């Protein structure tokens, strides 16, 4: 009888667990972000499976797409300012250029290698004239000047509505909250203390070994 009761209790717990998992899955599905209207201004955040931003056929409408692509990380103290600047430019130039961004932790290694990302924050610009990686610390100024020169180029015609043909896998995700960003001062303090600790070990360990060697030699002589 006791065994039957134990089995019944185990079965009830299993059913409750399955129901809980089903509820979580349903809630997660319900919380999925809406598909972004690519004609709207603003930063679009990419899904991990999005991988065809450069896949354009010769003569296709997608050849008129201009895309500014930001890779950032909420754990990088420099990404916060770049993201904010990127967001401002997305409003200014959003009628002609599509602005997309991705959190590094959501991307795969193959994805990063495909697009040529090697660090964060980093901005790539895709346009009919090719792909360009913006360098330097003043990325907002560099991007603003690049876009200004790009759009006055008579040989370039950017049409933001063709963005959906170039990169359809885009969703409306919430922008990073203030609490998501790592405090740059705290991160710098951690890095500083880590460097100090490492240097202390590098200095102390040889001294310790040297002292131990002298002690052993003295004991041996005695």
The whole-angstrom separation of Cα 69 and Cα 1 is 66
Q: What is the pLDDT of residue 57?
A: 44
Q: What is the pLDDT of residue 189?
A: 52
Contacts (Cβ under 8 Å, ≥6 apart) of 61 = 159, 162, 165
Q: What is the pLDDT of residue 76?
A: 85
| Residue numbers of the chain with a pLDDT score lower than 70 | 1-64, 108, 111, 136-137, 160-181, 183-209, 211-222
Other Cβ atoms within 10 Å of 140 Cβ, number: 16
The whole-angstrom separation of Cα 21 and Cα 16 is 9
Q: What is the pLDDT of residue 56?
A: 43
Q: What is the pLDDT of residue 34?
A: 39
CATH 3.40.30.10 fits 43-179, yes or no: yes
Cβ pair 50, 109 in contact under 8 A: no
Q: What is the pLDDT of residue 222?
A: 61
The whole-angstrom separation of Cα 188 and Cα 142 is 26
Nearest CA to 170 among 124, 101, 109, 123?
101
Q: What is the pLDDT of residue 24?
A: 36
Domain residue spans in the chain? 43-179, 183-222
Q: At what angle do helices 79-92 and 139-151 cross, to 10 degrees?
A: 20
Cβ pair 17, 25 in contact under 8 A: no
Cβ pair 147, 30 in contact under 8 A: no
Q: What is the pLDDT of residue 157?
A: 78
Q: What is the pLDDT of residue 93?
A: 85
């Amino acid at each position: 009888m006791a065994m039957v009761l134990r089995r019944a209790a185990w079965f009830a717990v299993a059913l409750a667990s399955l129901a809980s998992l089903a509820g979580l899955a349903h809630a997660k599905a319900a919380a999925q972000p809406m598909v972004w209207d690519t004609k709207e201004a603003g930063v679009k955040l990419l899904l991990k499976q999005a991988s065809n931003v450069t896949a354009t056929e010769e003569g296709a409408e997608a050849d008129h797409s201009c895309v500014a692509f930001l890779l950032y990380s909420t754990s990088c103290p420099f990404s916060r300012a770049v993201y904010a600047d990127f967001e401002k430019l997305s409003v200014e130039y959003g009628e002609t250029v599509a602005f997309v961004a991705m959190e590094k932790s959501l991307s795969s290694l193959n994805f990063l290698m495909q697009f040529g990302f090697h660090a964060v924050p980093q901005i790539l610009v895709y346009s009919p004239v090719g792909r360009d990686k913006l360098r330097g610390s003043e990325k907002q100024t560099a991007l603003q000047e690049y876009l200004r020169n790009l759009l006055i180029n008579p040989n370039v015609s950017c049409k933001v509505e063709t963005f959906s043909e170039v990169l359809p896998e885009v969703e409306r995700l919430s922008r990073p909250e203030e609490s998501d960003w790592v405090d740059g001062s705290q991160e710098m303090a951690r890095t500083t203390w880590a460097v100090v600790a490492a240097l202390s070990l590098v200095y102390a360990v040889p001294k310790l070994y040297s002292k131990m060697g002298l002690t052993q030699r003295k004991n041996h002589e005695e």
